[in-house]
Each structure stands twice: as C-alpha cells, then as structure tokens.
Amino acid sequence: MFTWHTQLIMFGQVLLAFVLGLIVGIEREYHHSPAGIRTYAAVCLGACVFGLISTHAQGGAYYHSIADPTRIAAQIVTGIGFLGAGVIFRDGSKTNGLTTAATIWAIAAVGLGIAFDMYLVAIMTTFLIIVLLSINYLPLVKRWKMRAHQRTQIDNE
C-alpha cells in the first residue's frame, strides 16, 4: 500500500512532531505548568498522526468518495480546544491555565503542520511558542508584574 520511502517520510514526520512537542513540554515542565512533557508531546504526536491519516486516506477505495484532510484537521482544532478548556480554572477574580490551554492548542497546530508537510512553519511556530512563554520570565517583565501586583494589593486594602 505505502512504499518504504513514504513510510520513512511519515516516520520522520512523527519523530519531528514528538521532538517539537517535547521541547515545549520541557519548557512548561520547568516552569511548573499544569501540563508538561507528556501532554505536549502526546498532543503534538496525536495531531500529526491524525493529520497523516487524513492526508493518506484512500477515500475512493474505502468510501467511494474523495478524502478531505481538512475534515480531520477541523475536528482536531475543536477537540484540542475542549481538552485545553479542562486546564482552565477560575478562583474568584483570578484565572489560571489560559496559557497552558493556548499552548496545547498551538502545539496541536504544530503537529498538523508537520503532517501537511509544513516543516519550517512547524519549527518556527515551536520556536515562537518558546519565545512567547519565556517573555514572562524576563527581568523587566518580572519587575513590571511585581509592581502591578503591589499596586493591586495597595488598592485592595
């Protein structure tokens, strides 16, 4: 059904999805996020494999219709949104988990990008996710957040 060459390319795609999901997961684990290495690697892998299945499905042979890879991609987007919603918690006026939910959603897009042969886009997206997550830990941003928190404490007294 699939040539060895095609299977090796798919193997490489799945491996790349694993590595990119792992990189984001390590960053999240390091900063004690509710979702860590296993979650990000699994979401990226799963999105990639579902994307590969949808792009390599033999639509005419199985369903007597044309396979549409965007159907599975659309389901991944909504399914991962549901998964991400499970990590969002609200405690009074404070909301936790929004960044985790957003990065879970973004890492699924990385997996789909790999499945659809958009390697540079997937790698750049992973890099940008790491940059985005790291901004919060820059000294200037930390000082700004500390001052804002202190002002809020004074206003609440």
DSSP string, 127-145: HHHHHHHHHTTSHHHHHHH
Q: Please state, in angstroms and as integers, the Cα–Cα distance from residue 85 to each residue in 33, 91, 95, 105, 110, following that order.
A: 15, 15, 12, 10, 19
User: Which pair of tokens denotes residue 17?
Assistant: 């999805």
Output the six-digit token pair for 34: 């509710």
Is the confidence at residue 56, as pLDDT, over 80?
Answer: no
Of 1-5, 15-19, 28-32, the poorest mean pLDDT is in: 1-5
Residue 4's contacts (CB-CB under 8 Å, 6 or more residues apart) are none
- What's the sign of the alpha-carbon dihedral 112, 118, 121, 127? positive
Average pLDDT (103-113) is 93
Where along the chain do its domains lie? 4-156
Kindly report the pTM of this predicted structure: 0.77
Report d(CA 108, CA 39) in Å as an integer. Answer: 11
What is the model's pLDDT at position 47?
93
Burial (CB count <10 Å: 0-12, 13-18, 19+), residue 29: middle
| Element holding 59 (H helix, E strand) | helix 59-63
| Mean pLDDT, all residues of the chain | 84
